[in-house]
Amino acid sequence: MESQTETHRKQKKWLRLLLFPLPLQGHVSPMLQLANLLYSKGFSITIIHTCFISSPKYPSNNPHFTFHSIPNGLSKSECSDADNLVALVSILNANCADPFRDCLVKLLSEVSDEPVAGLISDSTWEFTDSIAKSLQLPRFVLRTNNISSFLALAALALLQEKGYLPIQESQEEKPVIELPPLKVKDIPVFKTQDQEGLHQTIAALVEQTKSYTGLIWNSFEELEHGSLTDFRHNFPVPIFPIGPLHKYFPVPSTSLLSQDQSAISWLNKQAPKSVIYVSFGSVANIEKSEFVEIAWGLANSEQPFLWVVRPGSVIGSEWLEPLPKGFMEEIKERGHIVKWAPQQEVLAHTAVGGFWTHSGWNSTLESICEGVPMICHPCFGDQRVNARYVSDVWRIGVHLENKVDRFEIAKVVRKLLVEAEGHEIRDRILQFKKMANQSTQQQGSSYRSLESLVSLILSSQSQRKL
Ligand code: UDX
């Protein structure tokens, strides 16, 4: 049967989609993966983007897309001082609204043989809702976290009303009756001086969900069936769980930082399933005292380790200065530290037996896709929910629940890599790997959802006055 792409191309009329990612690694990657996927379905792609921290390499990696850069009004120093994610997202929303509108108006007014079919924006760009409505442009939204964590975010107002918030240390282990299996310490809170303002923003974003033309998730039906059922019950909006987005076909690197390939040459020298890979993603920071405990925990585990230490991620340090004296001598060839790794390649390497992660959604999904069991060490927001689902619902990892402590770390690393419990966890995650990979193949649930998304984009476009 002829695919939609072929029909499109035969008609010689390409439709253009405008995509607008949030300029953070965990958001840029899935948006560019989605862009490549929709390009493969016959759409022309324009990426409207704003630089942040470093100039992105992805325009040169994706010459088949058109890029338009808009200013974000942040100085270089404001970018590098931006360790408060909530404040940063709020400033970006305030500063980018006008430049985005101007860019959109210009793009829509240009005479082109590729009419614009719609906008796909990151869910965190709050202002795109009213701008798209005023320009009568269908607005699709990509949520880069998962359905379970969204439902927890959507329940924040209720949890506040019920007295769970602000979280009291003495209550952390108690169950959240309204959101099983979450404990109070798993509620997706963020550090900010203005909790009230943040809750209002989240409530507004949740409310907007109901008026999206379509909502795209980087997740898949088999993984989050229960949460998807709850979501469908509460939010009557067309939804498309089409993940894992990176698994349809290889796409050019979406990394904002240079990936150190020495990670792979070092892994090539290690025994199968022997290495613990450690990375806390692109945003999370840790205290010096935690860094030292991690170092000794890895040393005491007596297992080989590949450790990503992002420059600036240890609070108050440039890179490895707080490493204990004599540490590297003690470790010798057993450990390898890099600033940024080719993570997907690392997780797919036969030497990797476990992933100690901050439980960001991309990292979690990438680990599932390669069948690598996890040690979950969430820092904030959705990571807390992801970690609870990994350890207690899907049972494909262990939760490092307590304060970071070298003895506990060594014990958990050995449990995952060497002990029988680790083998059972690996067997379970291999089942999930199979489901994930099947979902993106023809007739898989995500593939079918993608076809429905393409149909909805085409029918929404035909209703728009071009
Ligand atoms: C953020 C939030 O922290 C996360 O909770 C939310 O789900 C998405 O936005 P981030 O902290 O960057 O994301 O974590 P994650 O979602 O795991 O994304 C990190 C990405 O960086 C992954 O795609 C990973 O492959 C990549 N990465 C990480 C590298 O390429 N190299 C590295 O060394 C580390």
* pLDDT for residue 403: 84
* pLDDT for residue 14: 85
Would you say the CB of residue 301 lies under 6 angstroms from ligand 1?
Answer: no
Phi first, then psi: give them for residue 260, nearest 5 degrees.
Answer: -80, 110
Would you say the CB of residue 283 lies under 6 angstroms from ligand 1?
Answer: yes
Pocket test for ligand 1, best of 31, 53, 58, 282 (most atoms within 8 A of CB): 282
* 254 within domain boundaries: no
Strand order in the sheet with 397-399: 335-338, 305-308, 275-279, 352-357, 374-376, 397-399
Strands (E), 309-351: 335-338
- For residues 293 and 230, state if they share a domain: no
* 176 within domain boundaries: no
For residue 135, the enclosing domain spans 9-144+212-248+441-465
* pLDDT for residue 1: 44
Q: Which of 236, 192, 186, 194 is nearest to 215 (CA)?
A: 236
The secondary structure of 407-419 as a DSSP string is: HHHHHHHHHHHTS
- Which residue's structure tokens are 């909790």? 195
| Residue 273 vs residues 31, 168, 241: alpha-carbon distances, Å | 31, 40, 31
* pLDDT for residue 463: 64
Distance CA 382, CA 191 (A): 13
- For residues 59 and 94, state if they share a domain: yes
Residue 212 has which token pair?
A: 């999206």
pLDDT digits (tens, 9 = 90+) for 421-433: 999 999 999 999 9
| Residue 282 Cα: closest atom of ligand 1 | 12
Would you say the CB of residue 31 lies under 6 angstroms from ligand 1?
Answer: no
Would you say the CB of residue 260 lies under 6 angstroms from ligand 1?
Answer: no
Domain count, the chain: 2
Q: Which of 404, 130, 423 is nearest to 292 (CA)?
A: 404
Pocket test for ligand 1, best of 191, 362, 365, 390 (most atoms within 8 A of CB): 362
- For residues 344 and 319, state if they share a domain: yes
Residue 134 exposed, middle or buried by CB count within 10 Å (0-12, 13-18, 19+): exposed
* 168 within domain boundaries: no
Alpha carbon distance, N-terminus to C-terminus of the chain: 30
| Residue 347 Cα: closest atom of ligand 1 | 25
Quick one: residue 73, left, alpha or beta (phi over 0 = left, psi -120 to 50 = alpha)?
left
* pLDDT for residue 432: 98
66 C-alpha to ligand 1 centroid (Å): 25
* 175 within domain boundaries: no
* pLDDT for residue 93: 95
Write down the pTM of the prediction: 0.95
* pLDDT for residue 80: 59
- For residues 338 and 242, state if they share a domain: no
* pLDDT for residue 299: 96
> Whose Cα sits closest to atom 5 in ligand 1?
360
Are the C-beta atoms of residues 237 and 429 closer than 8 Å to each other? no
Could you tell me the CATH number of the domain that includes residue 303?
3.40.50.2000
- For residues 312 and 455, state if they share a domain: no
- For residues 284 and 431, state if they share a domain: yes
- For residues 297 and 421, state if they share a domain: yes
Phi first, then psi: give them for residue 246, nearest 5 degrees.
Answer: -85, 0
Which segments in the chain show pLDDT lower than 50? 1-2, 9, 12
